Amino acid sequence: MAYTTINKPSDYFNTKLYTGTGATQSITGVGFQPDMNWCKLRTTAYNHVIVDAVRGVTKVIRPNLNNTEDTYTNAITSFDSDGFTLGADTNGEHNRNGDNIVSWNWKANGAGVSNTDGDITSTVSANTTSGFSIVSYTGTGSQATVGHGLGATPKWIVVKRLQNAEDWAVYHASNGAGTYQSLNTTEGKQTNSNRFNVAPTSSVFTVNTHESVNFAENYIAYCFAEKTGYSKFGSYTGNGNADGPFIYTGFKPAFIMVKRTDSTSNWQINDNKRDVDNVQNTPLMANLSNAESTDTSWDSLSNGFKMRQDYGSKNASGGTYIYMAFAEAPLVGSNNVPATAR
């Protein structure tokens, strides 16, 4: 029996490692033309940077900061059929000479089209197969709905105000409506309805009146719906033990990000290209500019991941956590080929 229609997850999400040169270079091997690219220097403390096809490749925002959008013409200069092209990058965040760099890449659907499903007309680049959309909209300052184009209910939404400094606003279905967390801070789940006071639907998400999601300015949102065998957005409870909880995803993970909700902690990211063996132990923190560190994290298995440390940011006794994960391979694809453990 078919388990998923996405037999090759790397057609929609892929991690690419490369070395900066400080000069123009083409990065190939992504496997598709990216529509969202998230880069981080691994060996130097530099900011995370996100570029997407809706805002354009010259427009940079930083997950670890609340800063406004910046314009750089010599960082990423184009998204290409199998990757992206880098300029001389005098700012150093994408192509610093001699640095090892990781880029996480998602496929949406190009520069986007107008969407009138919500109260606010949005520009949406949506991939309904993989459940990912990039949404650009201009806020009104009054509660409003925004079309996301997925045809399925998002479980994870990340919103960034572009023209003025403001924390990133994160909605996660496991936290629920009336809550939020900030991607660029360590804060736990905040119970406040002024950001996401209504749960999203298969066509729209609702933004309330807080300036982080809805002022008379421009915003970008990244929306993720769950797809069996490809993506999972859930929660778990820690046990405070090196023999930690097992979290079932239904696939072998390629990318995992974890955040504690009942206390402060960093947003921890591990992937299958920087950590090719278990235990995965070279995390990056989405809210920090820090270089890659060494810290026992979790085992990546054929059908999920298992905690291997009692550290508070991922496995405190009784601690609650949210996560997002994307697949390296489905547990069983429509071709009936099962995934294997490492």
CB under 8 Å to 333, separation ≥6 — which residues? 2, 3, 4, 6, 7, 229
Q: What is the CA radius of gyration of the chain?
A: 19
Q: Are 292 and 204 in contact (CB under 8 A)?
A: no
Tell me whether residue 131 is exposed, middle or buried, using C-beta atoms within 10 angstroms of its C-beta: 0 to 12, 13 to 18, 19 or more. Answer: buried
- How many residues are given for the chain? 342
Pick from 145, 147, 184: nearest CA to 67: 184
The 3-state DSSP class for residue 313 equals helix
pTM: 0.95
Tokens of 113: 């089209």
What pLDDT does 281 receive? 85
What pLDDT does 333 receive? 55
What pLDDT does 158 receive? 98
Taking the CA of residue 2 as centre, how many other CA atoms within 13 Å lie in the half-sphere pointing to its CB?
Answer: 7
Q: Where are the domains of the chain?
A: 10-106, 113-225, 232-330
CB under 8 Å to 174, separation ≥6 — which residues? 155, 233, 234, 235, 261, 322
What pLDDT does 2 receive? 43
Per-residue DSSP letter, 56: E
Give 10-residue mean pLDDT values along the chain (342 residues). Answer: 77 98 97 98 96 98 98 96 95 93 98 98 98 98 98 98 98 98 98 97 98 97 97 97 95 97 97 91 96 88 92 94 96 58 56
Pick from 159, 176, 138, 162: nearest CA to 223: 159
